[in-house]
Amino acid sequence: MSVGIAIEQVSYRYSPEEGHALNSVQLNVHPGDIFGLLGPNGAGKTTLMSILTGILNPDSGVIEYFDQGRKITGRDISRVIGFVPQDFAFYQELTPLQNLAYFGAMYDLPGKEIRKRSQELLELLGLSAVADRKVGSFSGGMKRRVNLAIGILHKPKVLFLDEPTVGVDVQSRQAIVDFLIRLNGAGTTIVYTSHHLAEAEKLCNRIALIDHGRVIACDDLDSLLKTNNSRDLQSLFLNLTGWSYRD
């Protein structure tokens, strides 16, 4: 079964002098969702993702994980979540196999399981032919796929993705999106941020729009479009967040 998440009144400031990066955010991610966290630059998406993955602690509020109604606590949380950050989180001078071996050991996976799982993922992500080449020589799309393989090596029940297709070609983007749809179909809950709204519209079944640290809309896409008289996700986004430049 998939994991669900309850986000209760979460707030965060990076310093006392700054305004809230997040202000009383309340959301529920249902088991099996592909849940889109969308918003303009500086809206609070990456901050919320960092709190959900334990990189930051909220100033106030609670994050709770549930598996079949049972609350997950402590170290068990780190075992059920995977995170694919926007920045490349691997060693450029190592090969995909070496990177996966290193991070597999960090996940406390047995060596035999690391080797088996690494071969499976490299095959699924079209990287078998370059398994022994240094990652630093790869294209952007190939590096994105290595990033993804590391994040799902331990078979997480919920996967966090921060701009997983930024800077890649059309073919790589489509391959990654198709892979994520299959992963979700096998039971993985996905929480996803992106500025590619057409991609998000195809991928996500539920969406939260965040602006200035607050949730301004959250529902399934069809309901959001109907309620806000919008023809697609891009028009909905602009209708709710405005047309002004964002830094």
- The pLDDT tens digits for 28-40 are 999 999 999 999 9
- List, in sequence order, the alpha helices (H) in the chain: 45-52, 75-80, 96-106, 111-124, 140-152, 170-185, 197-203, 221-227, 233-241
Centre a 10 Å sphere on the Cβ of residue 15 and count the other Cβ atoms it contains. Answer: 7
Predicted local distance difference test score (pLDDT) of residue 136: 95
Predicted local distance difference test score (pLDDT) of residue 156: 94
Residues of the chain with pLDDT under 50: none
Domain boundaries, the chain: 3-82+155-241
Q: Any idea which fold 3-82+155-241 has?
A: Rossmann fold (3.40.50)
User: Could you tell me the maximum CA-CA distance found in the chain, to the nearest angstrom?
Assistant: 54
Predicted local distance difference test score (pLDDT) of residue 100: 97
Which residue has tokens 């939260």?
208
Predicted local distance difference test score (pLDDT) of residue 5: 96
pLDDT tens sequence across 84-123: 998 899 999 999 999 999 999 999 999 999 999 999 999 9
Burial class, 247, CB count within 10 angstroms (exposed 0-12 / middle 13-18 / buried 19+):
exposed
pTM above 0.95, yes or no: no
Predicted local distance difference test score (pLDDT) of residue 1: 58
